[in-house]
Structure 1
């Protein structure tokens, strides 16, 4: 399944100043665009800190397979075990973005 991680799109565009990844960004041709390519990108998009590597190596076992940024904008994420819950949480995050930065017009139609 595609990873669909926004940071990989920012990496593909070489623009980490992007605050909101929009539909127009998702068509960027790149092996790092995880909306277009299944699985992990071909290489890292950043160099993790030692604490991050330790956290991954010692991560608790969970059933989570989806995550989305927290609508509180505190740098945390909200995790879910199924796609339906993920869609609900993603919608909550999008609504929080709209409230904070203004609604983005839907240009996908």
Structure 2
């Protein structure tokens, strides 16, 4: 965004996509158009060719003993997968979750 005098400003963030995409800058518009033509990001139940290709190449960049990747869509999916893997590796069933700030609020210390 620019002021009337031509001073350059950051665009307002009236929503998630506005903050990410900006104000229709030609480079951003061109990138979005190019990427949507390849459908390289879909939810984890539908894999496109670029995602499959990436999944095949990623293990080569991982340190031993890591040999596989698990591509997920959201933070929630990632957390659930991490918890399941931790339980599988440790053989334990419980996890500890902390929310110290919230806990202190509840104690009203």
Instruction: Give the TM-score band, short-chain normalised.
Output: under 0.3
Q: Which has the higher contact order (CA 8 A, sep 6+)?
A: 1
Q: Which has the higher helix share?
A: 2
TM-score of the aligned structures, taking structure 1 as reference length: 0.25
Instruction: State which structure, 1 or 2, has the greater radius of gyration over its C-alpha atoms.
Output: 2
Q: Which has the higher strand share?
A: 1
TM-score of the aligned structures, taking structure 2 as reference length: 0.25
